[in-house]
Amino acid sequence: MSNDTDDLGDRLRRIGFRARKDALAAFLAHAHKSRVGPTETVEQLADLEERARAAVNLARRTRFACLGSFKTMDRFDWAHPETIDRSMIERLLELDFVEQGENVLLKGGSGLGKTMIAQNLANAALAAGFTVRFSTLAAALADLLNQESMPAFERRIRRYTRPDVLILDELGYLPCDSRAADILYNVISRRHEQRSTIITTNLAFKQWGNTFPGAACVVALVDRFAQHCHRLEITGESYRDKHRLDPDRPKPTTPKSRRKRA
């Protein structure tokens, strides 16, 4: 029976089943021993394949998202910021804004958790079956500016216009020229009222012109992005600054019992 099970598992893999070979073998062995009916066997096999396809799809979308490592929201220190709208964040994590193609602005100083919140929103969207792309604004613009022809640019810009959720991190941390502003406007315009964009920044909308000096499209850019936008402002001291060790503070001594032996 084992060889027959292995052969059938191989045949299922050859015709396109995504479930792992060992999972198929275990299922077929279980179905044989439990003597379930043909309809129930097919239903269970379909369930196994659906779970396998969902796992493969999630892994592919996660690779494309480029989220990197991040802390989950259960580790967020809600008591640290001076002001933060926790209820808004919890509502955003329900992802209605993605369904509606609405945007999110996360504004605040450095070290207040803007990027962490954006990554958690992106991760929730991935788990719900949406496509996601995360990038710093500087990296995304550099990527698009490096395209040497219009066809190459059009192919590459789809990386930023097609995902259900696009996160552009750190607007305002590096100055950009007018060409970069035009590209960002292009991305936001193509996504307008269709797909959600999340931007983290330390600047109010009226200060975006400081990042794109001389760019004629800044007003139109802000207008498009802000039209359907949830705005969250976080204020307070940088978490990293608050927890940075004071070099003048005496370092705690390590108990002898915990010191490594030479």
Tell me the CATH number at 170.
Answer: 3.40.50.300
Give the DSSP H or E segment for 230.
strand 229-234
- Give me the pLDDT at residue 43, please: 85
**Residue 17 domain flag:** yes
- CA dist., res. 236 & res. 85, Å (int): 13
| Main-chain dihedrals φ then ψ at residue 261, nearest 5 degrees | -80, 140
Residue type, 143: D
Beta strands in 152-207 (DSSP E): 165-171, 196-201
Work out the angle at residue 242's Cα, subtended by the Cα atoms of residues 240 and 246, and round it to the nearest 5 degrees: 100
The CA-atom distances, in angstroms, between 259 and each of 254, 255, 256 are 6, 7, 5
Provide the residue range defining the domain that includes 24: 2-64
Contact 132, 67 (CB under 8 A): yes
Contact 9, 21 (CB under 8 A): yes
Query: How many other C-beta atoms can be found within 10 angstroms of the C-beta atom of residue 27?
Result: 20
Contact 175, 209 (CB under 8 A): no
Residue that finishes a domain, picked among 64, 82, 114: 64
Residue that finishes a domain, picked among 47, 64, 81: 64
- CA dist., res. 188 & res. 221, Å (int): 7
Q: What is the pLDDT along the chain (262 residues), one digit of tens a residue?
A: 456 566 776 777 787 777 877 877 788 777 778 877 888 878 888 888 888 888 888 889 999 999 999 999 999 999 999 999 999 999 999 999 999 999 999 999 999 999 999 999 999 999 999 999 999 999 999 999 999 999 999 999 999 999 999 999 999 999 899 999 999 999 999 999 999 999 999 999 999 999 999 899 999 999 999 999 999 999 999 876 666 644 554 544 544 444 443 3
**Residue 258 domain flag:** no
- CA dist., res. 134 & res. 259, Å (int): 42
Whether 80 and 58 map to the same domain: the answer is no
- Give me the pLDDT at residue 7, please: 73
DSSP classification of residue 236: S
The total of structural domains in the chain comes to 2
**Residue 255 domain flag:** no
Whether 32 and 90 map to the same domain: the answer is no
- Give me the pLDDT at residue 245, please: 47
- Give me the pLDDT at residue 38, please: 80
- CA dist., res. 219 & res. 224, Å (int): 9
**Residue 48 domain flag:** yes
- CA dist., res. 225 & res. 105, Å (int): 9
Collapsing DSSP to helix, strand or coil, 168 comes out as strand
- Give me the pLDDT at residue 244, please: 63
**pTM to 2 decimals?**
0.80
Whether 128 and 224 map to the same domain: the answer is yes
